[in-house]
A and B are shown apart, each in its own frame.
Chain A
Amino acid sequence: MKHLLELENIKIRFRTKGVVKALIDRDKDPFIEAVCEASMSIGKGETFSLVGESGAGKTTLARSILGLVTPDEGRITFNGKDLLGLNQASFKPIKRDIAMMFQDPVGCLSPRLSVQSIVTEPFKIHNVPMADSRKEAQRLLELANLPVSFLKSYPYQLSGGQARRVGVARALALNPKLIIADEPTAGLDVSVQGEILNLMYRLQQEMGISFLVITHNLSVVRHTSDHMAIMYLGRFVETGPTDEIFKNPRHPYTKILLTSSPEPDPDAPKTRTVLQGEIPSLINRPKGCEFHTRCPLAQDRCQLEVPSLRKIGEDHYISCLLEK
């Protein structure tokens, strides 16, 4: 199958101190690894979810696709085109085909522009002629299920759900092939959350858009995505078809994550394992398997060997030394 987007062995490092400071401190490695060895692919009209706790590198990985962060190693292919190594000018047309929805629904809208200007912004950036900017904005708001009367509103007048829909409308402006949605339901009430997800699904059906969804809400992932990857400290610990992972999670972290949200039923059996401690800082990345400091099954070898992603089923990969 030909994929729309392919990421191969992406590695993203951030500098922790300046060149001079690193020299003075004799720090040979003034970097932290935000993402390491991430590989994934998204087919046309497919939804891929990146799951993980904060600091797992989900957002960094997604931003690297748009060139907002530059990977140090790896390959990003979009629609058959290698994205790394493109200069700003040749990247610009790519940005017509990939749209991004940011986590903060209100904060990602330019505060002094009206909704009409905001949703038609992509046209202006890419010099795409519009017959009538008002009509165009109206069409986009209708696509996003927002009454036309919002055209004259300003971002601060919008509720989270309304601003989110403006964000969807803006993302749709130039008929993108891929939409990267960073926490599309963060901060929304459950009833509104459903509306946004249904809207995204409808657009996917009608326009064949692929989605890369970043989220920590597993119940949303279960219902909305085809494939998923679970990240921990910048590394994919498990990736595969969503149904398969929910049915048969193999990595100990995945297993714990799947049971960590209590069921909305007071009499549900409490089978959860409480994970001790917190995610280690990227600056003190644990040696060996990154998860061994919190893993209930950790053994001695986990502190020494770095597991690599290996295939354990159809399209199903984990990185764990113990799981067979």
Chain B
Amino acid sequence: MSASVEPVPLPAPPLRQRRWVPVLVLAAVMIGIVSGGYVTSDALGKAGGETVAVSSSVTVTALPGWELAGRFTDPIGVRLSKGSASLDVASLPFTGSSEGLLAAYVQNVLEPGAEQFRVSETVEGVVLNSGQFGARITYVGLFGDVQAPIEGEVTAVVTPDGLGVIFDGWAPSGQLQYAIDDIHTMIQGAEIT
């Protein structure tokens, strides 16, 4: 056997075949960019599923992925978070309608801390799984030191016993749409006694 045999170079693949390779690679990279965040977030682990007591009369069941991010006292409430989305649930004594509670929350809590604040013109009615009626509006604005604009949705429920419950779901603008189904499910399932 002679060692001087030159290796025969392989012929280049047909042009049509080579044209597919970069396209498939590019498509794969784009799929990775678009879905990678969700996959990574899931890989980092899911939490939640537990029932969180907001006050002695209000409990909310956090869906998988939602975590108790904090509690506040004036009024009594909790913050549930998933990624950049949050749901604040507060409980307070209130005599009046759900629309009245909604207006009070907007005027006393949201507006004072916001710039370029805008609220939806129509108030939507909602019914919780427990049969209680509530009112809902959406808003956008800039809040505090957070540079990104925030969009949110407030749902107010007032029981005949004079208990008011506020559900304020919010996220940086453009991201609420990805959490809104979870937020609605948690509000629908809230127990108010």
Query: Are A and B co-members of a single complex?
Result: no
Which residues of A are at the interface with B, using a C-beta cutoff of 8 A? Answer: none
